[in-house]
Structure 1
Amino acid sequence: MITHIVFFKLKDRSPDSIQATAQVLTNMEGKIPVLKHIEVGLDILHQERSYDIALVTKFDSLEDLSAYDGHPLHLEVKKHMKEVLDGTSVCVDYQS
């Protein structure tokens, strides 16, 4: 299994903005066949170094992760994220 974790810091760090973007991410659940698990977590400490949202996804293989990356719904999500991100996201991909 491949675990893909991404951390996002938003331009607008208000609770409403964070919740709206979390919903955009959560909306992928059940709509991308290769996406076996999705978890969206919201930061609770709100420190300067904190990221606002964590996305944890799991796939059966690297090929499935690649298919997810090009899926039309994920492409829409990436477009949204480019508009709301404060800079770039960071990620880790590992075999689990």
Structure 2
Amino acid sequence: MLTHIVLFKLKDRSPESVQATVRVLENMEGKIEVLRHIEVGTDVLHLERSYDIALITKFDSVEDLAVYDTHPVHEEVKAHMKRVLDGTSICVDFES
């Protein structure tokens, strides 16, 4: 199993903006066959160094992650994130 974790910092860090993006991310659930698990969490401490949203996804393989990356539903999510991100996201991928 491959775990893919991405952290996002938004331009607009208001609760409404964060929740709107959470809904966009959660909308992937059940729509991408290779996506085995999805969890979306929001920051509770709101420190300057904090990121606003964490996305945790799981796949059977690196190849499935590549399929996910180019899936039309994920492409829509990436377009949304491009509009709302404050800079770039950070990620880590590891075998679990």
Give the TM-score band, short-chain normalised.
Answer: over 0.9
Q: What are the residue-to-residue correspondences of 1:4-83 with 2, within 5 Å?
A: 4-83=4-83
Which contiguous aligned blocks of 4+ residues in structure 1 show a shift greater than 4 angstroms?
none
> How far did residue 6 of structure 1 move?
0.1
Give the TM-score taking structure 2 as reference length.
1.00
Q: Distance in 2 between matches of 1:46 and 1:70?
A: 32
> How far did residue 9 of structure 1 move?
0.1
**CA RMSD, aligned part only?**
0.2
Q: Distance in 1 between matches of 2:49 and 2:15?
A: 17
TM-superposition CA deviations, 1:14-57 (whole Å, max 9, x none): 00000000000000000000000000000000000000000000
Stretches of structure 1 lacking an aligned partner (at least 5 in a row): none
TM-superposition CA deviations, 1:34-87 (whole Å, max 9, x none): 000000000000000000000000000000000000000000000000000000
Q: Give the letter aligned to residue 78 of structure 1.
A: K
Give the TM-score taking structure 1 as reference length.
1.00
3-state DSSP of counterpart to 2:12: coil
Q: Distance in 2 between matches of 1:44 and 1:3?
A: 23
Q: Distance in 1 between matches of 2:23 and 2:49?
A: 23
% identical aligned pairs: 75
Stretches of structure 2 lacking an aligned partner (at least 5 in a row): none
